[in-house]
């Protein structure tokens, strides 16, 4: 069973912030900090996700971007141009494994859009003032309270 997308986002935020924190403690902070920043930004730009900040891309695009980010982290691990200490390489490799596992077990399905109320009324599935059982109960409770207040006012005028 696939996990809900919000768990995927929480995992990406935690892992990304851990990478940034690791980079800040490292004598060569560039690679882990960039990798962590990419992971956090990738988690923050998903449209239709509960923990997103910017809502720029759909979940299906995010699914591809996850693979791109993982590939960039792997390149940062093996590249010889930017100094990366062995401990940071090991941690970044572990993060790639964790994010890969999270990616494999995540549900990227888009939530269906909710039908506007006018469309529900027009389709004949609901009366204009009835949106469900809860609304009916609330309406009855409101009328009961209103009738009680009106009765108390009438009784007070006697």
Of the candidates 60, 58, 62, 40, the residue with the CA atom closest to the CA atom of residue 48: 58
Q: Predicted confidence band at 14 (pLDDT cuts at 50, 70, 90)?
A: very high
- State the pTM of this model: 0.71
Which phi and psi (to 5°) does residue 136 adopt? Answer: -65, -40
Output 114 or 32, whichever has higher pLDDT. Answer: 32
Give pLDDT, residue 27: 94
Q: CA 72, CA 63: separation in Å to the nearest integer?
A: 15
Q: Predicted confidence band at 153 (pLDDT cuts at 50, 70, 90)?
A: confident
């Amino acid at each position: 069973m696939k996990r809900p997308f919000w768990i995927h986002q929480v995992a990406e935020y935690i892992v990304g912030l851990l990478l940034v924190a690791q980079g800040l403690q490292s004598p060569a902070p560039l690679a882990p900090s960039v990798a962590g920043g990419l992971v956090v930004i990738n988690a923050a730009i998903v449209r239709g996700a509960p923990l997103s900040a910017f809502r720029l891309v759909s979940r299906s695009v995010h699914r591809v971007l996850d693979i791109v980010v993982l590939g960039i982290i792997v390149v940062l691990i093996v590249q010889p141009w930017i100094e990366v200490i062995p401990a940071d390489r090991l941690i970044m490799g572990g993060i790639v494994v964790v994010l890969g596992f999270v990616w494999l077990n995540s549900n990227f399905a888009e939530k269906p859009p909710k039908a506007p109320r006018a469309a529900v009324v027009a389709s004949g599935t609901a009366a204009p003032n009835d949106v469900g059982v809860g609304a009916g109960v609330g309406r009855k409770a409101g009328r009961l309270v209103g009738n009680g207040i009106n009765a108390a006012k009438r009784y007070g005028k006697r």
